[in-house]
Structure 1
Amino acid sequence: MADRQANPLIDHDTWAGRLFGGTDGIWYTACEIRDVIEPATGERLTQVGLARAADVARAAQAAAAAQPAWAALAPRERAAILRRAAAALERDLEPAARYIARETGGILAKAQLEVAEAATQLHIAASLPLQPHGLVLPSVAGRLSYARRVPHGVVGVISPFNFPLILAMRSVAPALATGNAVVLKPDPQTPVSGGFLIARAFEEAGLPPGVLQVLPGDAEAGAAVVEAPEVRMIAFTGSTAAGRKVGELAGRLLKKVSLELGGKNTLIVLDDADLDIAASNAAFGAFFHQGQICMATGRIVAHRKIAAELTRRLVDKANTLPVGDPASGTVALGPLINARQLQNVDAIVRASIEAGAVLEAGGTHERLFYQPTVLSNVQPGMRAFDEEIFGPVAAITPFDSDDEAIALANRTEYGLSCAVIGASVQRASAIGERLKCGLLHINGQTVADECVNPFGGRGDSGNGSSMGGPADFDEYTQWQWVTVKEAAERTPF
């Protein structure tokens, strides 16, 4: 253990061309190697192994073989391993954050938050093994009847590129804590932030071999995770389109699946709102991490009395927020993750302008750096109103009445996050009660998560399940009913 603790978590030589896990819990050479490209520079950041379907199948078998002993480990010992993994992240917070900033294109403050929140997720999960695991149920005299929570066995985790560490850890940590083994497939664009950094932390913490398998891969590997017969639950975070495929496949195989998908999230700004505060919230929700967040403020629905002034203040912010290489530590926005995403953002902006939206700021880019963009007069039917943009675009739609604001916010198949800002909490809350979303913030903005809260959406934003906080025990275990009698008795047959 001492030798492992002396090694930094960020170690390119450890994962170069490799995958993690197998039956021995080691780093092993992959058949395929892929470069990881730094979005800000276009240069190679590192090299990793890329998993194929056969690699996933072997990993799932190894995880299933290791899981019973892990589940049988004393709860305090499982909790201690999770705490040691958290300590490793806390110790290496700064180098890990610098690497995440480079791999994801996010600013350094966002990367530091990721590492700190991932450590918090581990600490929260470490409490799960020590919680009550069941209930004693009423029954007839002479029979003990109880319900207990038991692990699924092997949980498959498929995680995205935008917040790769915390969006993987939020499933990995509670799944392990409740006695499951885990097969983790991070996005191949962020394989270290969303995968190998987690493997390194648990390796140092002394996690038994085989319990965690980490295999970056493309769609083929993701499908293999879902299809592996040993994997009994899938925790997927990603786009709605990909989530539909995962859900359909898991449904055919009768597997539990938790889908956390996209969003077209609305911030409603009432006519009595403080406009400086409202503009600050709207800018953060729309522009933070270049808008590449499922909770990003995709619509700013503003009362017509204040819409023009709110737009002006948002334009001021968009024109002054610095954009550049996040590794420099001096910017507010970094690059989009890849050229395909940039082209999609630009196409939505252009199509909306052609349909009548007004370009107030931005709308330009250099390489993968898309300028913070403000569109006014965005109406239903325009792509900027209807579609998840996943880029730094503030789309402003005016309204005249509270009923109209509610109708505009609910005019979507998504249902993740909504927020209302106004001077009257009673009025804002009354509006909030009528919004169809899984996350609701009164006098806040749409981008928020505190680890201890259940997190999940409705409709095209997910299948109604939640991850985090009080939801974790239900997600990563299933109920088993047990009855015990001193001796078997005759039945009427």
Structure 2
Amino acid sequence: MSLFETDSWSAAVFTGRWTPAAGGDAPVVSPATGAEIGRAGSANAEDISAAAERAAAAQRGWADTSFEERAAVLRRAGALLEENGDEIMAWLRRESGAAPGMAGFQVHVAAAECYEAAALASQPYGEVLRTGKPRLSFARQVPAGVVGVIAPFNAPLILSTRSVAPALAVGNAVLLKPDPRTAVCGGAVLAEVFRRAGVPEGVFQMLPGGIEAGEQLVADPNVRVISFTGSSAVGRKVGEAAGRYLKRVHLELGGNSPLVILDDVDLDAAVSTGAWGSFLHQGQICMTAGRHLVHERIADEYVEKLAAKADALPVGDPDRDEVALGPLIDAGQRDKVHSMVTTSVDAGAKLVAGGTYEELFYRPTVLDRVTMDAPAYADEVFGPVAPVMRVSSVDDIADIAKASPYGLSLGILTANPMRGMEIADRIPSGIVHINDQTVDDEAVAPFGGVGDSGTGSRFGGTRANIEAFTETQWVTMQADVARYPF
């Protein structure tokens, strides 16, 4: 049975049912072909305001639902994602340009997020506190109310589900605003999944839209928590706006993650790891290995082998061919990537692979001898680019790596894991992988960065998810009404 039995999602938003958007509609475009493959609803401020009011009205009943029933809904959602995996992967390939492996990974992780959220619903939600008075004193975690989720285009299914599922599990209503470039695979898919799983009308709503919709979601008084995943520049604006409304906001932002390669590694394994970390999903991942810090004794051979690997990777339409890399999401992103490559070369970097494109298909690129002020080294590229800097000592590595304002993920490759841990202790980072590259995500692990990469680990794992999507309430209870001296 197809997930989308009809085209009811076309030109619509999901409010518990598919309805036309007051903001009209927008094309769904394949980045590989440039063809319009559908039309999605485009929410405006009016749509968001009405949805928030519906969500606030529906949330109390959902919070009062037993944890067994909420858990069952989340389990059904996970099963629906798996059962309809082929159809969902096809949308991920066509709409987001994901290669088959990346599309499959997203379905797997999104289903896992739902299953973990189902388990979250039955977790203890408080603790008994000591008190100096003859009473019961305890703290409990209560639903925040209405949670607004703003998700990006790059891994749309995962980056929507990882906030939506746990927020629903602990009793919140959720408004999801996916990126309009991935309104189907990052939005309509989840709307249909949660509708079929049994989420009551108004508790989960999905409204693709642009800046106007996002601004209203942050400003609306019915929305108490914002979960935003996106660039650091936009995240700052979201955080500033949320602060004006005294609204809690979770920011998972950009990265420029270092991959440290010491001189005692298996070089072929290191090259494989480095290529995967920089070129997976065309480098359009916040955790992408954005800086290769390679010990100078092995740098020449590493660069040579990495360039050969890059030159051999097939690039093309993932919906038609067996490829390693698909297209970048749009022309604006392609032009940004290419500008950062060319200006880095102008600044002295050596182009040893790639640096060319056809349409939105950008060749995997290796830059050698980059300096700290080269754009492709200093900033997040969000494209298939591996900048290599040569380092001479552990002190160099630590000083160079921590000089970046970003602090999302860190990979360290070495024959001595304890040496890797010593280096990790000197580099601020929300995530550390010793003897692996920088890109990974599991529903059971806390995820988040420091510095310009966000406000900490706010997704994944029991503790992080409960803290993210509930409020702490102190409660006391005593047998008789208290008496006071006046």
1:472 to 459, 462, 465: 465
Q: Once the 2 structures are TM-superposed, how far is the Cα of residue 213 of structure 1 from its aligned partner?
A: 1.0
Q: Does 1:393 align with 2:365?
A: no
Q: In structure 1, what is the Cα distance between the partners aligned to 2:133 and 2:468? A: 33
Cross-structure match for 2:198: 206
Q: SS state of the match for residue 337, structure 1?
A: coil
Q: In structure 1, what is the Cα distance between the partners aligned to 2:174 and 2:436? A: 35
The amino acid that maps onto 2:302 is: L
1:446 to 435, 438, 442: 438
Q: In structure 2, what is the Cα distance between the partners aligned to 1:33 and 1:11? A: 20
Q: Once the 2 structures are TM-superposed, how far is the Cα of residue 304 of structure 1 from its aligned partner?
A: 0.5
Matches within 5 A, 1:342-421: 342-421=334-413
Q: Once the 2 structures are TM-superposed, how far is the Cα of residue 384 of structure 1 from its aligned partner?
A: 1.2
Q: In structure 2, what is the Cα distance between the partners aligned to 1:492 and 1:266? A: 64
Stretch deviating more after TM superposition (160-169 or 461-470): 461-470
CA contact (8 A) 1:258 1:465 kept: no
2:277 to 263, 282, 285: 285
CA contact (8 A) 1:107 1:329 kept: no
Two-structure CA RMSD over aligned residues (Å) = 1.0
Q: Does 1:132 align with 2:106?
A: no
Q: Deviations over 1:114-148 (max 9, x none)?
A: 11111110000001111111111112453111111
Cross-structure match for 1:26: 17
Q: SS state of the match for residue 231, structure 1?
A: coil
Query: Any gaps of 5 or more consecutive residues in structure 2?
Result: none
Q: SS state of the match for residue 384, structure 1?
A: helix
Q: In structure 2, what is the Cα distance between the partners aligned to 1:79 and 1:492? A: 49
Cross-structure match for 2:265: 273
Q: In structure 2, what is the Cα distance between the partners aligned to 1:300 and 1:233? A: 36
With over 3 angstroms needed to count, the CA separation of the structure-2 counterparts of 1:340 and 1:402, relative to structure 1, is same
The amino acid that maps onto 2:473 is: Q
Matches within 5 A, 1:57-206: 57-140=49-132, 142-206=134-198
The amino acid that maps onto 1:77 is: E
Q: Once the 2 structures are TM-superposed, how far is the Cα of residue 255 of structure 1 from its aligned partner?
A: 0.6
Q: In structure 2, what is the Cα distance between the partners aligned to 1:394 and 1:202? A: 39
Q: Once the 2 structures are TM-superposed, how far is the Cα of residue 10 of structure 1 from its aligned partner?
A: 3.4
Q: SS state of the match for residue 323, structure 2?
A: coil
Cross-structure match for 1:16: 10
Q: SS state of the match for residue 427, structure 1?
A: helix
The amino acid that maps onto 2:12 is: R
Q: In structure 1, what is the Cα distance between the partners aligned to 2:104 and 2:90? A: 8
Cross-structure match for 1:3: none
Q: Does 1:429 align with 2:421?
A: yes
Stretch deviating more after TM superposition (317-326 or 93-102): 93-102
Q: In structure 1, what is the Cα distance between the partners aligned to 2:386 and 2:377? A: 10
1:36 to 16, 19, 28: 28
Q: Once the 2 structures are TM-superposed, how far is the Cα of residue 48 of structure 1 from its aligned partner?
A: 0.9
Stretch deviating more after TM superposition (326-335 or 10-19): 10-19
Question: Which structure 1 residue ranges, 4+ long, deviate > 4 Å from structure 2?
Answer: none
TM-score by length of 1: 0.97
CA contact (8 A) 1:259 1:465 kept: no
Matches within 5 A, 1:284-363: 284-363=276-355
Could you tell me the percent identity over the aligned residues? 51
Q: In structure 1, what is the Cα distance between the partners aligned to 2:206 and 2:324? A: 32
Cross-structure match for 2:242: 250
Q: Deviations over 1:164-185 (max 9, x none)?
A: 0110000000000000000100
Q: In structure 1, what is the Cα distance between the partners aligned to 2:194 and 2:321? A: 29
TM-score by length of 2: 0.98
CA contact (8 A) 1:298 1:395 kept: yes
Q: Once the 2 structures are TM-superposed, how far is the Cα of residue 466 of structure 1 from its aligned partner?
A: 2.0
Q: In structure 2, what is the Cα distance between the partners aligned to 1:147 and 1:476? A: 16
Q: In structure 2, what is the Cα distance between the partners aligned to 1:420 and 1:488? A: 61
Q: In structure 2, what is the Cα distance between the partners aligned to 1:39 and 1:430? A: 43
Query: Any gaps of 5 or more consecutive residues in structure 1?
Result: 1-5
Q: Once the 2 structures are TM-superposed, how far is the Cα of residue 333 of structure 1 from its aligned partner?
A: 0.2
CA contact (8 A) 2:430 2:457 kept: no
